Chains A and B, each alone.
Chain A
Amino acid sequence: MNISVRWTNHLPALALLLALFGLLWLGWPWPDPVPDGFDAQGRPIHWRWAPASLGAALTLWLVSFALDGIWDGFERRRRLFNPLSLADEGLIAWILARVAAFGVANGMAPAVRVAAWVTGCLAFGAAVALELRRVTAPAPEPDPRTAEDTRELASDLSALQALGQSWSYWSVQKMPHRLLFGILGTSFTLGAFAIPDAPLWARAALLVGGLLTLAVCSGGLRTVVTPRRLVLRAGYLGLPLLRLATSEIAEVAVPDFDPMRHFGGWGIRRGFFGDFAGVWAFNFASSGVLVRTRQGKRYLIGTDEPDRLAAALNAVRRAS
């Protein structure tokens, strides 16, 4: 899938950034640290930093998002326009500027104040630069190994099927933004123990959510195809998600799809609109293989190499 990007496609993101910057100037309220210590004249000398800590954690999260975005830019993998993709850089600018504004009001050291402003402006600049870079970034060159390898794989599998030999094909979909989700998972897990006076259900939810996030983001999505079955597992622990007998597979296709538009996001989802209505998607990124069973059920199986997985599935489908 190769979607051309015009300069007008960037207007929503640029508008979003400008709006954030405007709100920043207007001083959109942000939960500043609450003073809890006062001197003899009643001036605050100590603050509770819970809201600021939240801001710092959010900033760290967003910085990791931004770094990931820059890395993706280098890898030339970011082809699709996504107006939300710049919200992170804009938010970093906003949060840092709020920190600076708080500093102005509360006598923060001038050097720290300036540093916060400069970092905010740099983050804003980086956001605009990243966005504009997408206009000129060439479409990624197709992997030269793909077509030849896929043909070779299909012929190897046909031969193996004909000989009745034992084989298995592994296909993996790595989770994008693994760093970000790793930080989130760790934060949730630690938060389950660190938050004072939290109710038990909240601790349990944080712990389960954190461990699940860590487990899934560490192993990605793994599809194993053998002459008899297709098995889909997720995460380091290999949580089973789907198991299909290869004799049940009626049709295999490599579709063009947009996870956000067709499924409302990533993960395990069900499509409700258009060509993907009724399709169960197991997808951590933006490429996959659509499998239709003889009973008419349809599954979208996420993989980083859809053509090769489709070739493997077609080989077993033809044989069964």
Chain B
Amino acid sequence: MLLHFDERDPRPIYAQLVAQVKEQIRKGSLRPGEDLPSIRELASTLGINLHTAHRAYQVLRDEGVIMLRLGRRPRVAALREEPAGRHEVQQRLAGRLNELITEAFHLGLSERDFKSLVHELLRSGRGTR
């Protein structure tokens, strides 16, 4: 598992780590049940604050992506079998999609162009269902 952070990225470090773990699970590089480094290991090897590593893992745990239990190594959780409920989709996806649609509008993309771009990315990327 490869984790890194970019100091020039406007997102906080924990959010960058969260995004990387999620992407690696989507691509299949990290599989359900695989062990993740402990919070202390993550912090020391990346040279980040212990609280930052802890926060990244907490967010991943809260989103059901990893299992974080006291005294055990963090572990990738089983993939969700049923799609999330409408409320959760609205909360976690709709806002960001809206931002992308706005961005596409300002880039001059038609609805068709935007849809074909999404289709293309879904087809080329691994880990879609």
Contacts and interface: CB of A to CB of B under 8 A. Distances in A.
Given A224-B41, A226-B45, A238-B41, A167 B28 contact: no
A166 B41 contact: no
Interface in A45-85: none
Given A166-B46, A224-B45, A226-B45, A145 B126 contact: yes
Contacts of B1: 169-170
A257 B85 CA distance: 50
Interface size class of B (residues with CB under 8 A): 20 to 34
Contact of B3 (A148, A168, A219): A168
B37 interface: yes
B4 A167 contact: yes
A185 interface: no
B2 A169 contact: yes
A167 B3 contact: yes
A112 to B, nearest CB: 39
A295 B28 CA distance: 38
Contact of A166 (B29, B47, B73): B47
Contacts of A153: 2
A149 B35 contact: no
Contact of B37 (A157, A167, A170): A170
A169 B36 CA distance: 11
- SS class, residues of chain B in contact with chain A: loop
A166 B37 contact: no
B88 interface: no
Contacts of A149: 27-29
B73 A236 contact: yes
Nearest to A233: B41
A242 interface: no
A148 B127 CA distance: 13
A170 B4 CA distance: 11
Contacts of B37: 170, 222, 224
Give the 10 A-B CB pairs with smallest separation, nearest first.
A167-B4, A168-B45, A145-B28, A170-B1, A169-B2, A224-B45, A170-B37, A168-B46, A149-B29, A160-B4
21 contacts: A145-B27, A145-B126, A149-B27, A153-B2, A160-B4, A163-B6, A165-B5, A165-B6, A166-B4, A166-B5, A167-B2, A167-B4, A168-B2, A168-B45, A169-B1, A170-B1, A170-B2, A222-B37, A224-B41, A226-B45, A238-B41
